[in-house]
């Protein structure tokens, strides 16, 4: 079956307004002190030009410039599609019912409670034959020792991904049995918790960069991996899948392993995450891992 995907920027730094190194010192000198320097510089430049004439360092042509080739459009008579073939829910968002956000502070939301709400809202996904082990192990969340380490909820990370000046929450939890990890992003609107991105895959890494969430997943092709990037879209008020590519990792000797079926791009319900730092990747569980 074809690899199916869901919905998915880093900001570039602007120019500095500070003066270039040394500019202040030059500007501070009196005009009369500058003139002799410029006159001497002119003499040196003229002398250099005279010596350089006929020197082997003169400019040489690099040859003819290659002609730009425009793309060839195939099947020009084919009627362009006006609508997508499938409704993949790329801009669907979801208000998480039963979860309150005290004072609009997302840090006060219990990630484990959010995952439990997702499991309750989608019982068929977490019943026997599906991810029933995730549902069973939720009872270990909040416990200490070995029991607590079995909690499937990963540590939550907080960063402003929507540009409103307030932190949003990125969390993950393992979908067991199997090797899938669910990744969710939540924001707060009028003291309500809203899921603005959701995806599951066999995840090898998750990163935050600017206002983007990047997920790396192993590929069936040796030496390559998938890299998916979701970025906040102000107009759609959701994280959109802005980049989906296969990249070479340089490790062509890794063994291929059975790849779990990829989730569809249909929206997934919300999930929890514990208290967190703003570090770029999430890999610790709610129980402290």
Predicted confidence at residue 288, as pLDDT, reads 43
pLDDT digits (tens, 9 = 90+) for 70-112: 999 999 999 999 998 987 777 889 999 999 999 999 999 999 9
Query: Residue range 140-162: average pLDDT?
Result: 96
What pLDDT score does 203 carry? 97
Q: What is the pLDDT of residues 251-278, one digit of tens each?
A: 666 555 444 444 433 333 333 333 334 4
Asked if 229 and 5 touch (Cβ cutoff 8 Å), the reply is no
Highest mean pLDDT: which range of 5-9, 36-40, 58-62: 58-62
How would residue 54 be classed by pLDDT, with cut points 50, 70 and 90? low
3-state DSSP assignment of residue 169: strand
Q: What are phi and psi of 187, to 5 degrees?
A: -130, 175
pLDDT at 254: 52
Predicted local distance difference test score (pLDDT) of residue 197: 97
Which one, of 78, 82, 81, 113, lies nearest residue 99 by Cα?
113
* 3-state secondary structure (DSSP) of residue 34: helix
pLDDT beyond 70 at 192: yes
Q: What is the pLDDT of residue 89?
A: 73
55: helix, strand or coil:
coil
β-pairing, 180-189 vs 238-248, is: unpaired
Q: What is the pLDDT of residue 82?
A: 93
Q: How far apart are CA 244 and CA 226, in angstroms?
A: 7
Q: How confident is the model at residue 65 (pLDDT cuts 50, 70, 90)?
A: confident
The whole-number pLDDT of residue 92 equals 84
- Taking the C-alpha atoms of residue 51 and residue 46, their distance in angstroms, rounded to an integer, is 9
Q: Please report the pLDDT score of residue 62 as a whole number.
A: 80
What whole-number distance in Å separates Cα of residue 228 and Cα of residue 216?
Answer: 6
pLDDT of 55 reads 55
What is the full DSSP assignment across 122-189? -GGGGSTTTTHHHHHHGGGTT--HHHHHT--BBPPEEE--SSSSS-EEEEEEEETTTTEEEEEEEEEE
Residue 130: half-sphere exposure toward Cβ, Cα within 13 Å: 9
C-alpha to C-alpha distances, 59 to 44, 62, 139, 186, nearest whole angstrom: 21, 9, 75, 58
Instruction: State both tokens at 115.
Output: 């995952």
pLDDT at 180 exceeding the cut of 70 = yes
**Does residue 28 have a pLDDT over 60?**
no
Lowest pLDDT segment from 60-64, 114-118, 255-259: 255-259
From the CA atom positions of the chain, what is the Rg in Å? 28
pLDDT by residue (tens digit) across 193-236? Answer: 999 999 999 999 999 999 999 999 999 999 999 999 999 999 99
Residues with Cβ within 8 Å of 101's Cβ and at least 6 positions away in sequence, in order, are 108, 109, 188, 191, 192, 193
d(CA 280, CA 208): 5
Token look-up 């801009």 returns 91
Q: Which residue in 168, 158, 209, 211 sits closest to 188, CA to CA?
A: 168
Mean of pLDDT values over 36-61: 55
Name the least confident of 4-8, 191-195, 244-248.
Answer: 4-8
pLDDT of residue 7: 37
Q: Rounded mean pLDDT of the chain?
A: 77
Q: Are strands 180-189 and 168-175 parallel, antiparallel or unpaired?
A: antiparallel
């Amino acid at each position: 079956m074809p690899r199916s995907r869901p919905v998915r920027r880093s900001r570039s730094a602007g120019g500095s307004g500070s003066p270039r190194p040394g500019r202040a010192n030059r500007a501070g000198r009196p005009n009369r002190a500058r003139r002799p320097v410029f006159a001497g510089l002119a003499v040196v430049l003229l002398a250099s030009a005279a010596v350089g004439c006929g020197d082997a360092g003169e400019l040489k042509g690099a040859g003819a410039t290659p002609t730009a080739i425009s793309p060839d459009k195939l099947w020009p008579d084919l009627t362009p599609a006006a609508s997508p073939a499938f409704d993949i829910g790329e801009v669907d968002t979801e208000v998480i019912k039963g979860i309150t956000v005290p004072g609009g502070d997302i840090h006060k939301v219990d990630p484990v409670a959010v995952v439990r709400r997702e499991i309750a809202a989608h019982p068929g996904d977490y019943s026997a034959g599906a991810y029933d082990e995730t549902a069973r192990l939720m009872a270990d969340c909040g416990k200490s020792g070995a029991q607590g380490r079995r909690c499937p909820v990963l540590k939550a990370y907080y960063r402003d991904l929507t540009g409103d000046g307030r932190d949003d929450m990125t969390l993950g939890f393992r979908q067991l049995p199997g090797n899938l990890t669910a990744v969710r992003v939540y924001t707060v609107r009028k003291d309500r918790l809203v899921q603005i991105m959701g995806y599951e895959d066999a995840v090898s890494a998750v990163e935050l960069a600017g206002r983007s969430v990047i997920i790396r997943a192993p590929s069936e092709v040796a030496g390559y991996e998938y890299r998916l990037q979701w970025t906040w879209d102000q107009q759609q008020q959701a994280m959109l899948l802005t980049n989906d590519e296969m990249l070479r990792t340089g490790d062509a000797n890794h063994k291929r392993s059975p790849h779990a079926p990829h989730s569809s791009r249909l929206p997934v319900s919300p999930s929890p995450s514990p208290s967190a730092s703003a570090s770029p990747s999430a890999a610790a569980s709610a129980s402290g891992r």
